[in-house]
């Protein structure tokens, strides 16, 4: 255990050691500071000797070495230094002689005492006493001389001076040195010296397409930020003179910098992110690096607002309206509708965009002609908007996708034909049931009823199928209205029979068997006709299909020929592929054609192309050979073979066309002949009527210019008009006497009569001016009668009328005179003589018109149908002719002329109607649809101008080959109303004609 | 020296003489050869042509000798050799139009001729080129060999050489070989000719219903015999009359020539006084203006020969041919045989016809032009033959009947066919449809009756025999069925049903050889189907 003396001794010694070390470190720091400041000041001073990076680097190394030395020497060393007891004893010895030795001995003794008691040669007590003594001495003396003096206290002034000096030197040192000194680099940088620039000014000239005006930024940092393609003009004042400068862009592009002695000017175009600087051409000075930030033009935004349905179904020849919006930051250049089919990607330009607007909104009508897609294929379409960026190229924005499905009208038509075939089967089944279950000897009425009810159900199903077909056929562009009419008629006929059947079967008894038998016979006949019509319809359709396929094949063949010629001249893989594609297309068409031809029952006279013979042409085999020749590079031989194939195709199409024409015209030939005759007859009537009208006009003119021997008509009219004026004046006077206060307009006795006479006088004057003497006479009689009535009133002295008795009397006399004059004129037989010839001619034309009308109605008995409008117009014409004839007889020339004119118009309309129909027949015979004249409605077709049914359904022109739904619906509606009396037979006959 | 000169002179004279003789001989031989060839004495002509060619080796007659040789080879049916000698003649005599035309002709004929395959029978070489036509020799052999004996006996001639029979595969090649135009063939219905020492017929495969092709072979063979017998001196009308009269002799005993069809034609012609004048029949029936006129002409000449044989006996025909050969004048020959001048004979024939009280048994009889199936492909469509029905209404009823029948509504189909039959009661098209539908319903008697009646009016309508065969087969009457099917073969042997049925029949009858034969035929047809 230690004694207190021992502890005090150790404490004294530790204190001494600690204090001494502190002072050493403190002094080291001061020394290090001296060294550091001195070296830094020295180096800064020396830096002025050379302005060279290497030199600066050497100086920096010097400073670093000096600092390192000072740090190790003056700081690290005192910290690591450990003081020995002996040295401490020496320092104590210096303060008090002997003390150092005593202290050392005390420490030794204490050490021995602690480590080995048994072997200690000195007693413990003595040892402790010695220690106590030493301790006491140490306590009693001033130990501070043993601690070194602190230098900071001594040298703080020089230290401050050197600090100030070195700092000044450093501040004044060259910038290059400064930058190197404070940079992390030890070795000198490769860059030249910094070129100081002041008063930087940057001008941005934006690309033309942005339509933005230039912008100048004064006092700029020199960093630039603008859209790509912006032209930058960089201006600044260099601190040091820059004789030949250049502007260097990060990518190495260098442009010269001009200088006006004070201000430098450099230019460049922003193309991408990066940086630039200015330097002298020697590379000795360089400005700081300025940042370039290239902003990008944004992609346009485009969207399709409508349609938005998932898949839009497009019918044949239907267009799709697409509503779109597009905008861009600087301007839109182009919009494209792009669509993808299995055959590839295509696009359509969406109009012309002018003035590159920033936003656009519009409607594009997509016409699907030329868009080829596979059945049921969904086409994806979108709009691509291109902006006007001419720097980095147009940016493209893509809209949302719309999906479109093109409905194949041919397929739809085929489906209808499948239904028609089904209908044919149903009819055949029903017909067979009817035939096989005729109730000739069937006395079992219940069994008969059951059987017949079964047949009724089948007929109902037939009607259902017919309804379904009729509904679907409305939207079928390939079904012409002959189909529609035939089927509609069929439906009406079948429904009528079914109604009759229902009536009969509701209360069927044995006595009804003969009626039932009659009905069944009727049904058999009707169903036979229906079957034949359907059979003919299917056959005709297939024939037309074959013709279409044939024509398409021929057209593709021509394209193939051209491609092969191209291939011969310029053989390349692309053309070869096109050739192969075309051959495949032709192969497909031939296959379809073969299939269609094979399904036609060619029982029509004037033989058509035999499908088996067609097969024997081996068109597909020839295509294979052509393909092989092309593969072998024998293009000439392939062309030869193709020419032979072409001949076969042309022959085949000609045969099909001829077949189709004879098929189509077979039932129409008689109609065409008759129509030609009718047109010719109407033309004759027209000519006759025109000639008659001319004669009537001449007559009228001659009557006006060349008065008859018994007086000049003009003079007569003028004379009578004067009389009428006198009469009018008399009546006006009468009126004024009757109505002294005209304004009051009170009802006075006779006033109404006077007004009426005045009105009739005007009429009379009109008839006279029109040379309508008969009418004038009638009118004159009326006027006279009225004046007499007025006179009677006057005679009775009723009311105020008596005051005008004289005027009334004179009026009656004058009216009588006018009437007598007109009667005298009408008695002049000479004028009737003049008219006789014209009347005869008019009657003759009328008779011919009647004959023609009779002929047209007679044609219905021959099962030929002509549109009723021809008949109507002829009847109209006949009515007008009759009127003209009467007028002529009555010397009513203006009326006669008017009637003649109307008759001519009606004849012309009849002729045009007939010609229009003839054209349709002719077009039909050429395979452009079969026309169907028809009359609808239940109005009776009466003789005369009135009573003609006007619900005639216009037949579409040849151009309107594909009938619209509306037309078909109106037709069906009319058919539902039934046919007019007498025309139901015509309809039936027409129907039979179609079958044949 | 003088002697030497004299000898040389003599030698020269002899050489020149020999040369002149050679020239004279070769041209004479050619002339003689041509004369033989014109009488179809080909063996003689061939010998002479060989000699002429040998003699004319080095002289100017080589051209005509080669031409003769070419013709001889052509008459022998050697197309390659004929072409070779023809070319040689043409080279030697390039300006000879006849040779050029002949060369052109044989070149065209050789296109088909060189493709011929042939079957040799005892007296005939039967050639064909279309694979399906390879079944024809099977049946032609029997008919021709029968005709060889029967008609040979009637006409008193049996040719020593084998007779060439060529079956042409299409109308074009037949037109070229026969030297008739396609229009003439179609208009007058010429299906065979006997020309250039051979019989040429068109394949029955090419006509929708076929034709009586075995009768036609016998008909043409008769022409061949008349050529040989009269040394080509018989006039066309007599040629055709005798051929018509004899054409069925391969299968029938002598009998009445006239049938309802000819009776109708003649009755109408007599009534309307529209017989075809004998003069109009020259130079060929193929040149007559219509099929109707051609058939009427056949009816006339056939009945003339019938009249001759009936009135003056079987030998009259032999005598007539002999007189024709001797006198080369048909009027003189007629006079010699009948004791009447030609006008008297002709009037006597007409009187005989009138006395028979002939009737127009087939109402609205119509003779159609030949209608070939293009490239020999027969349509499979059931209703395809409706175009042959004249009345629209008949066509309509029949079409509905067909539709009902194809849907298994047989009774209803019969109703519709009956409706059609009311309009056209003897139409073989309708009769056959009715009969086959009755047959399908098991009403064999009705079917058999209507079909048997139809044969009288339309003996060439193959469907009638096929339907009859079916009915007999159903009834188990194999002999009658065989007969019906064999008749069908004689019209159109290309229907596999016929052969299939015959196989069944022969199996039932225990005739294994015939079964095998029919199987072979069926295989050929099946391959070509």
pLDDT in tens, B174-224: 989 988 887 788 777 888 999 899 999 999 998 888 899 999 999 999 999
Tell whether B442 is covered by a domain.
yes
B225 compared with B39, residue with greater pLDDT: B225
pLDDT digits (tens, 9 = 90+) for B468-480: 999 999 999 999 9
Tell whether A794 is covered by a domain.
yes
Rounded to whole angstroms, the Cα distance separating B377 from B360 reads 35
**Domain range for residue B162?**
117-355
User: Which H/E stretch holds residue A365?
Assistant: strand A359-367
pLDDT digits (tens, 9 = 90+) for A597-609: 766 655 443 334 5
A848 compared with A338, residue with greater pLDDT: A338
Return the sign of the alpha-carbon dihedral for residues B213, B219, B222, B224: negative
Residue in chain B lying closest to A606 (CA):
B387
Rounded to whole angstroms, the Cα distance separating B490 from B210 reads 9
Q: Which two tokens stand for residue A717?
A: 């009219």
pLDDT digits (tens, 9 = 90+) for A902-918: 899 999 988 888 887 77
Instruction: Give the CATH number of the domain where residue B217 resides.
Output: 1.10.390.10
Give the pLDDT score at A717: 82
* % pLDDT > 70, chain B: 93
A114 and A257 in a common domain = no
Give chain B's mean pLDDT. Answer: 87
CB-based contact, A432 to chain B, within 8 Å: yes
DSSP bridge partners of A345: A340
Kindly determine whether residue B387 and residue A531, on different chains, have CB atoms separated by under 8 Å: no
Tell whether B315 is covered by a domain.
yes
Residue in chain B lying closest to A527 (CA):
B400
Give the pLDDT score at A454: 93
Distance of CA A891 to the CA centre of its chain: 68
B504 and B401 in a common domain = yes
A740 compared with A767, residue with greater pLDDT: A767
Tell whether A743 is covered by a domain.
yes
A607 compared with B510, residue with greater pLDDT: B510
Kindly determine whether residue A532 and residue B399, on different chains, have CB atoms separated by under 8 Å: yes
A221: left (phi over 0), alpha (psi -120 to 50) or beta: alpha
B103 and B48 in a common domain = yes
A837 and A771 in a common domain = no
**Domain range for residue A246?**
191-295
Q: What angle do CA A586, A591, A596 make, to 5 degrees?
A: 125
Contacts of B372 in chain A (CB under 8 A): none
Of B53, B249, B257, whose CA–CA distance to B155 is shortest? B249
- Work out the average pLDDT over A960-964: 43
Residue in chain B lying closest to A613 (CA):
B374
Q: Alpha carbon of A756 to those of A728, A735, B11, B42: distances in Å?
A: 12, 11, 149, 121
Kindly determine whether residue A435 and residue B403, on different chains, have CB atoms separated by under 8 Å: no
B394 and B304 in a common domain = no
H helices within B247-341, ranges in order? 260-272, 291-312, 315-327, 330-338
Kindly determine whether residue B412 and residue A616, on different chains, have CB atoms separated by under 8 Å: no
B168 and B90 in a common domain = no
Kindly determine whether residue A532 and residue B396, on different chains, have CB atoms separated by under 8 Å: yes
B500 and B420 in a common domain = yes
Residue A477, SS3 per DSSP: coil
Kindly determine whether residue B412 and residue A431, on different chains, have CB atoms separated by under 8 Å: yes
pLDDT digits (tens, 9 = 90+) for B319-339: 999 999 998 888 899 999 999
Q: What angle do CA B464, B468, B469 make, to 5 degrees?
A: 115
Distance of CA A768 to the CA centre of its chain: 67
Is residue A14 classed exposed, middle or buried when 0-12, 13-18 and 19+ CB atoms within 10 A define those classes? exposed
Q: Which two tokens stand for residue B408?
A: 């298994």
Tell whether A180 is covered by a domain.
no
**Residue A480 — pLDDT band, cuts 50, 70, 90?**
low
DSSP bridge partners of A197: A238
Buried b (16+ CB within 10 A) or exposed e, A277-294: bbbbeeeebbbebbebeb
Give the pLDDT score at A704: 64
A852 and A808 in a common domain = no
Q: What is the ipTM of this complex?
A: 0.78
B148 and B235 in a common domain = yes
Q: Which of B374, B387, B411 is the closest to A436 by Cβ?
A: B411
**Residue A930 — pLDDT band, cuts 50, 70, 90?**
very low
CB-based contact, B350 to chain A, within 8 Å: no
Rounded to whole angstroms, the Cα distance separating A859 from A866 reads 8
Give the pLDDT score at A317: 67
User: Which H/E stretch holds residue A93?
Assistant: helix A85-95
How many Cβ atoms sit within 10 Å of the Cβ of residue A123? 10
| CB of B86 closer than 8 Å to CB of B67 | yes
Residue A287, SS3 per DSSP: strand
Q: Which two tokens stand for residue A567?
A: 């291939």
A200 and A74 in a common domain = no
Residue in chain A lying closest to B395 (CA):
A603
Tell whether A184 is covered by a domain.
no
Q: Which of A542, A569, A587 is the last residue of a domain?
A: A542
Residue B115, SS3 per DSSP: coil
Residue A7, pLDDT above cutoff 80:
no
Strands (E), A782-875: none
Q: Which of B320, B355, B390 is the last residue of a domain?
A: B355
A165 and A69 in a common domain = yes
Give the pLDDT score at A948: 26
Residue A205, pLDDT above cutoff 80:
yes
Rounded to whole angstroms, the Cα distance separating B377 from B384 reads 13
pLDDT digits (tens, 9 = 90+) for A498-513: 999 999 888 888 888 8
Residue B12, pLDDT above cutoff 60:
no
| CA atoms in the 13 A half-sphere facing the CB of A143 | 23
Q: Which of A428, A532, A610 is the closest to B404 by Cβ?
A: A428
A718 and A822 in a common domain = yes
| CB of A736 closer than 8 Å to CB of A933 | no
A290 and A150 in a common domain = no
pLDDT digits (tens, 9 = 90+) for A332-352: 988 999 998 877 888 888 877
A112 compared with B437, residue with greater pLDDT: B437
Is residue B332 classed exposed, middle or buried when 0-12, 13-18 and 19+ CB atoms within 10 A define those classes? middle
Instruction: Give the CATH number of the domain where residue A553 resides.
Output: 1.20.120
A571: left (phi over 0), alpha (psi -120 to 50) or beta: beta
Give the pLDDT score at A44: 87
Residue B123, pLDDT above cutoff 90:
yes
B297 and B171 in a common domain = yes
> Would strands A215-218 and A224-227 be described as parallel, antiparallel, or unpaired?
unpaired
CB-based contact, B403 to chain A, within 8 Å: yes
Residue A638, SS3 per DSSP: helix
B399 compared with A608, residue with greater pLDDT: B399
Give the pLDDT score at A619: 76
DSSP bridge partners of B118: B127
DSSP bridge partners of A404: A312, A379
> Into how many domains does chain A fold?
7
Of B317, B239, B331, whose CA–CA distance to B285 is shortest? B239
Give chain A's mean pLDDT. Answer: 78
How many Cβ atoms sit within 10 Å of the Cβ of residue A569? 9
Kindly determine whether residue B387 and residue A431, on different chains, have CB atoms separated by under 8 Å: no
Q: Which of B297, B322, B355 is the last residue of a domain?
A: B355
How far apart are the CA of A610 and the nearest CA of chain B, in angstroms?
A: 7
Q: Which of B375, B386, B387 is the closest to A613 by Cβ?
A: B375
Rounded to whole angstroms, the Cα distance separating B44 from B63 reads 20
Kindly determine whether residue A602 and residue B387, on different chains, have CB atoms separated by under 8 Å: yes
CB-based contact, B380 to chain A, within 8 Å: yes
| CA atoms in the 13 A half-sphere facing the CB of B517 | 12
pLDDT digits (tens, 9 = 90+) for B407-434: 999 999 999 999 999 988 888 999 999 9
**Residue B16 — pLDDT band, cuts 50, 70, 90?**
very low
How many Cβ atoms sit within 10 Å of the Cβ of residue A974? 19
B156: left (phi over 0), alpha (psi -120 to 50) or beta: left
Q: Which of B98, B113, B128 is the last residue of a domain?
A: B113
Tell whether B361 is covered by a domain.
no
Kindly determine whether residue B411 and residue A432, on different chains, have CB atoms separated by under 8 Å: yes
User: Which H/E stretch holds residue B110?
Assistant: helix B97-113
Q: Can you spell out the DSSP letters for A395-423?
A: -EEE---EEEEE--HHHHHHHHHHHHHHH
B385 and B445 in a common domain = yes
Tell whether B166 is covered by a domain.
yes
- Work out the average pLDDT over A818-827: 81
**Residue A421 — pLDDT band, cuts 50, 70, 90?**
very high
Rounded to whole angstroms, the Cα distance separating A781 from A772 reads 14
DSSP class of residue A741 equals S
Kindly determine whether residue A429 and residue B409, on different chains, have CB atoms separated by under 8 Å: yes
Tell whether B460 is covered by a domain.
yes
Give the pLDDT score at B167: 95
Judged by average pLDDT, the poorest of A109-113, A816-820, B282-286 is A109-113
Contacts of A995 in chain B (CB under 8 A): 396
Q: Which of A809, A827, A845 is the last residue of a domain?
A: A827
B339 and B190 in a common domain = yes
Q: Which of B373, B399, B407 is the closest to A603 by Cβ?
A: B399
What's the pTM?
0.57
CB-based contact, A429 to chain B, within 8 Å: yes
> What angle do the packed helices A85-95 and A4-47 form, to 10 degrees?
100
H helices within A667-772, ranges in order? 669-705, 713-738, 751-769
DSSP bridge partners of B193: B200
| CB of B210 closer than 8 Å to CB of B462 | yes
Residue B233, pLDDT above cutoff 60:
yes
Q: Which of A407, A441, A473 is the last residue of a domain?
A: A407
B164 and B255 in a common domain = yes
**Residue A970 — pLDDT band, cuts 50, 70, 90?**
low
Contacts of A611 in chain B (CB under 8 A): 379
DSSP bridge partners of A236: A264
Residue A630, pLDDT above cutoff 90:
no
Q: Which of B371, B379, B409 is the closest to A612 by Cβ?
A: B379
A421 and A401 in a common domain = no
Residue in chain A lying closest to B379 (CA):
A612
H helices within A475-512, ranges in order? 481-506
CB-based contact, A521 to chain B, within 8 Å: no
Give the pLDDT score at A506: 87
Residue in chain A lying closest to B403 (CA):
A428
H helices within B384-461, ranges in order? 392-406, 410-423, 428-440, 444-457
Give the pLDDT score at A942: 31
Rounded to whole angstroms, the Cα distance separating A485 from A932 reads 7
How far apart are the CA of B410 and the nearest CA of chain A, in angstroms?
A: 9
Instruction: Give the CATH number of the domain where residue B464 resides.
Output: 1.25.40.10
pLDDT digits (tens, 9 = 90+) for A304-327: 988 876 788 887 667 888 999 999
Backbone angles phi, psi at A706, to 5 degrees: -120, 85
H helices within A599-668, ranges in order? 611-616, 619-631, 635-666
B174 and B28 in a common domain = no
Q: Which of A425, A528, A996 is the closest to B392 by Cβ?
A: A996
Buried b (16+ CB within 10 A) or exposed e, B288-300: beebbbbbbbbbb
Rounded to whole angstroms, the Cα distance separating A731 from A787 reads 9
> Into how many domains does chain B fold?
3
A548 and A400 in a common domain = no
| CB of A659 closer than 8 Å to CB of A830 | no
Residue A84, pLDDT above cutoff 80:
no
B132 and B275 in a common domain = yes
pLDDT digits (tens, 9 = 90+) for A635-680: 888 888 888 888 877 877 777 777 766 666 555 555 667 778 888 8
Residue in chain B lying closest to A617 (CA):
B375
Give the pLDDT score at A393: 84
User: Which H/E stretch holds residue A285?
Assistant: strand A285-287
Locus of tokens 């200015």 = A278
Tell whether A534 is covered by a domain.
yes
A393 and A306 in a common domain = yes
Start-to-end C-alpha separation, chain A: 149
DSSP class of residue B490 equals T
Rounded to whole angstroms, the Cα distance separating A321 from B414 reads 59
A876 and A738 in a common domain = no
Rounded to whole angstroms, the Cα distance separating A77 from A25 reads 8
A314 and A243 in a common domain = no
Calculate the dihedral angle through the C-alpha atoms of A74, A79, A80, A86, rounding to the nearest 10 degrees.
100
Residue B215, SS3 per DSSP: helix
Residue B382, pLDDT above cutoff 80:
no
Q: What size, in residues, is chain A?
A: 996
How far apart are the CA of B487 and the nearest CA of chain A, in angstroms?
A: 27
Residue in chain B lying closest to A530 (CA):
B400
């Amino acid at each position: 255990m230690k004694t207190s003396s021992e502890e005090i001794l150790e404490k004294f010694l530790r204190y001494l050691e600690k204090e001494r070390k502190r002072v050493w470190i403190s002094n080291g720091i001061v020394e290090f500071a001296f060294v550091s400041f001195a070296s830094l000041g020295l180096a800064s001073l020396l830096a002025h000797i050379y302005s060279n990076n290497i030199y600066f680097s050497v100086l920096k190394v010097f400073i670093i070495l000096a600092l390192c030395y000072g740090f190790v020497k003056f700081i690290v060393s005192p910290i690591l230094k450990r003081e020995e007891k002996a040295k401490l004893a020496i320092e104590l010895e210096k303060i008090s002689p002997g003390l150092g030795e005593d202290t050392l001995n005390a420490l030794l003794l204490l050490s021995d005492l602690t480590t080995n008691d048994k072997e200690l040669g000195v007693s413990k007590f003595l040892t402790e006493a010695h220690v106590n003594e030493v301790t006491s001495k140490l306590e009693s003396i001033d130990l501070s001389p043993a601690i070194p003096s602190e230098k900071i206290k001594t040298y703080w002034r020089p230290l401050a001076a050197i600090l100030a000096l070195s700092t000044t030197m450093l501040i004044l040192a060259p910038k290059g040195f400064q930058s190197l000194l404070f940079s992390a680099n030890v070795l000198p940088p490769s860059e030249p010296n910094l070129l100081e620039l002041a008063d930087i000014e940057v001008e941005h000239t934006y690309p033309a397409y942005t339509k933005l005006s230039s912008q100048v930024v004064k006092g700029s940092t020199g960093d630039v930020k603008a859209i790509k393609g912006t032209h930058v003009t960089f201006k600044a004042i260099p601190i040091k003179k820059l004789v030949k400068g250049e502007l260097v862009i990060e990518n190495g592009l260098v442009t010269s910098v001009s200088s006006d002695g004070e201000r430098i000017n450099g230019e460049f175009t922003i193309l991408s992110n990066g940086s630039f600087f200015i330097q002298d051409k020697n590379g000795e000075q360089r400005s700081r690096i300025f940042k370039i930030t290239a902003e990008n033009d944004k992609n346009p935004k485009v969207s399709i607002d409508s349609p938005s349905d998932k898949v839009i179904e497009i019918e044949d020849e239907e267009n799709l309206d697409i509503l779109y919006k597009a905008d861009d930051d600087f301007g839109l250049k182009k919009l494209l509708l792009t669509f993808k089919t299995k055959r590839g990607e295509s696009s359509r330009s969406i109009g012309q965009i002018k003035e590159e607007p920033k936003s656009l909104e519009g409607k594009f009508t997509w016409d699907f002609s030329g868009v080829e897609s596979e059945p049921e294929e969904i086409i994806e379409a979108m709009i691509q908007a291109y902006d006007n960026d001419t720097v980095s190229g147009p940016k493209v924005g893509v809209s949302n996708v719309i999906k479109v499905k093109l409905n194949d009208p041919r397929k739809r038509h085929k489906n209808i034909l499948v239904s028609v075939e089904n209908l044919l089967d149903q009819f055949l089944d029903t017909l067979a049931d009817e035939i096989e279950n005729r109730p000739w000897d069937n006395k079992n009425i219940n069994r008969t009823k059951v059987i017949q009810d079964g047949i009724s159900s089948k007929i109902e199903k037939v009607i259902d199928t017919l309804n379904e077909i009729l509904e679907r056929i409305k939207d079928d562009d390939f079904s012409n209205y002959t189909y529609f009419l035939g089927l509609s008629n069929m439906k009406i006929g079948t429904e009528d029979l079914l109604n009759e059947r229902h009536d009969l079967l509701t209360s069927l008894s044995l006595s009804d068997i003969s009626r039932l038998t009659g009905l069944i016979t009727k049904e058999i006949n009707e169903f036979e006709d229906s079957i034949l019509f359907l059979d003919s319809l299917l056959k005709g359709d297939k024939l037309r299909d074959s013709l279409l396929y044939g024509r398409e094949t021929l057209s593709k063949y021509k394209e193939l020929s051209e491609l092969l010629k191209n291939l011969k001249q310029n053989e390349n893989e692309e053309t070869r592929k096109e050739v192969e594609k075309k051959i495949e297309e032709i192969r497909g068409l031939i296959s379809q054609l073969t299939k269609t031809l094979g399904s036609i029952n060619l029982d029509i006279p004037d033989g058509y192309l035999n499908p088996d013979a067609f097969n024997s042409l081996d068109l597909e085999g020839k295509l294979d050979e052509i393909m092989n020749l092309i593969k072998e590079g024998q293009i000439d031989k392939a062309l030869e073979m193709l020419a032979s194939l072409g001949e076969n195709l042309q022959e085949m199409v000609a045969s099909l066309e001829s077949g189709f024409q004879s098929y189509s015209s077979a039932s129409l030939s008689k109609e065409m002949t008759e129509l030609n005759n009718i047109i010719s007859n109407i033309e004759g009537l027209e000519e006759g009527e025109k000639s008659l009208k001319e004669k009537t006009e001449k007559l009228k003119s001659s009557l006006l210019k060349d008065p008859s021997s018994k007086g000049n008509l003009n003079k007569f009219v003028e004379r009578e008009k004067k009389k009428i004026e006198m009469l009018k004046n008399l009546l006006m006077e009468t009126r004024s006497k009757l109505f002294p206060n005209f304004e009051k307009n009170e009802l006075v006795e006779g006033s109404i009569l006077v007004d009426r006479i005045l009105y009739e006088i005007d009429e009379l004057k009109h008839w006279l001016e029109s040379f309508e003497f008969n009418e004038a006479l009638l009118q004159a009689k009326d006027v006279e009668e009225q004046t007499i009535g007025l006179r009677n009133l006057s005679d009775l002295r009723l009311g105020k009328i008596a005051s005008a008795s004289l005027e009334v009397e004179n009026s009656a006399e004058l009216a009588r005179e006018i009437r007598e004059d007109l009667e005298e004129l009408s008695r002049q037989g000479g004028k009737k003589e003049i008219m006789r010839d014209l009347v005869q001619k008019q009657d003759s034309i009328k008779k011919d018109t009647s004959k023609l009308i009779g002929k047209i109605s007679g044609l219905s008995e021959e099962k030929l149908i002509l549109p009723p409008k021809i008949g109507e117009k002829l009847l109209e014409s006949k009515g007008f002719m009759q009127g003209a004839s009467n007028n002529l007889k009555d010397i009513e020339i203006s009326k006669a002329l008017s009637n003649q004119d109307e008759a001519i118009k009606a004849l012309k309309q009849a002729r045009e109607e007939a010609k229009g129909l003839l054209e349709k027949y002719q077009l039909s015979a050429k395979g452009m649809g079969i026309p169907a004249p028809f009359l609808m409605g239940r109005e009776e077709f009466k003789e005369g101008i009135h009573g003609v049914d006007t619900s005639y359904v216009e037949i579409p022109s040849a151009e309107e080959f594909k009938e619209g739904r509306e037309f078909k619906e109106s037709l069906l509606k009319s058919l539902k109303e039934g046919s007019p009396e007498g025309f139901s037979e015509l309809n039936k006959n027409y129907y039979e004609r179609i079958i044949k | 020296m003088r002697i030497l000169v004299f000898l040389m002179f003599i030698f020269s004279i002899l050489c020149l003489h020999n040369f002149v003789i050679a020239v004279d001989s070769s041209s004479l031989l050619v002339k003689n050869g041509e004369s033989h060839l014109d009488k179809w004495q080909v063996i003689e002509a061939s010998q002479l042509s060989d000699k002429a060619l040998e003699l004319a080796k080095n002289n100017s007659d080589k051209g005509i000798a080669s031409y003769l040789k070419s013709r001889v080879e052509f008459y022998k049916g050697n197309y390659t050799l004929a072409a070779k000698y023809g070319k040689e003649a043409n080279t030697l005599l390039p300006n000879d139009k006849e040779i050029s035309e002949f060369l052109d002709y044989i070149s065209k004929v050789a296109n088909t001729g060189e493709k011929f395959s042939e079957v040799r029978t005892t007296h005939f070489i039967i050639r064909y080129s279309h694979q399906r036509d390879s079944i024809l020799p099977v049946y032609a052999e029997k008919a021709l060999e029968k005709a060889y004996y029967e008609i040979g006996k009637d006409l008193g001639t049996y040719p020593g050489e084998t007779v060439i029979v060529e079956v042409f595969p299409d109308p074009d090649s037949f037109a070229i070989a026969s030297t008739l135009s396609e229009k003439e063939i179609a208009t007058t219905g010429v299906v065979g000719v006997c020309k250039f020492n051979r019989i040429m017929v068109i394949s029955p495969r090419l006509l929708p219903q076929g034709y009586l092709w075995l009768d036609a072979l016998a008909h043409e063979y008769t022409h061949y015999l008349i050529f040989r017998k009269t040394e080509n001196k018989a006039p066309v009308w007599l040629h055709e009359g005798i051929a018509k009269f004899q054409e069925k002799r391969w299968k029938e005993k002598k009998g009445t020539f006239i049938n309802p069809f000819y009776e109708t034609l003649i009755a109408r012609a007599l009534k309307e006084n529209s017989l075809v004048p004998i003069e109009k029949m020259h130079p060929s029936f193929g040149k007559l203006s219509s099929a109707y006129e051609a058939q009427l002409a056949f009816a006339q000449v056939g009945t003339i020969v019938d009249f001759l044989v009936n009135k003056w006996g079987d030998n009259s025909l032999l005598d007539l041919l002999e007189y024709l050969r001797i006198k080369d004048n048909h009027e003189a020959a007629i006079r010699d045989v009948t004791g009447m001048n030609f006008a008297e004979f002709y009037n006597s024939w007409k009187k005989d016809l009138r006395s028979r009280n002939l009737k127009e048994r087939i109402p609205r009889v119509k003779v159609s032009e030949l209608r070939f199936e293009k490239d020999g492909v027969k349509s499979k469509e059931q209703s395809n033959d409706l175009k042959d029905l004249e009345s629209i209404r008949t066509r309509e009823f029949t079409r509905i009947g067909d539709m009902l029948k194809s849907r298994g509504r047989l009774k209803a189909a019969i109703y519709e066919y009956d409706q059609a039959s009311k309009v056209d009661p003897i139409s073989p098209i309708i009769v056959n449809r009715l009969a086959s539908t009755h047959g399908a319903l098991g009403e064999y008697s009705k079917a058999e009756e209507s079909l048997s009646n139809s044969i009288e009016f339309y003996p060439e309508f193959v469907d009638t025999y096929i339907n009859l065969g079916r009915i007999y087969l159903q009834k188990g009457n194999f002999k009658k069925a065989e007969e019906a099917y064999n008749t069908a073969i004689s019209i159109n042997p290309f229907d596999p049903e016929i052969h299939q049925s015959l196989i069944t029949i022969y199996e039932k009858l225990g005739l294994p050889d015939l079964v095998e034969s029919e199987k072979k035929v069926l295989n050929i047809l099946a391959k070509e189907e």
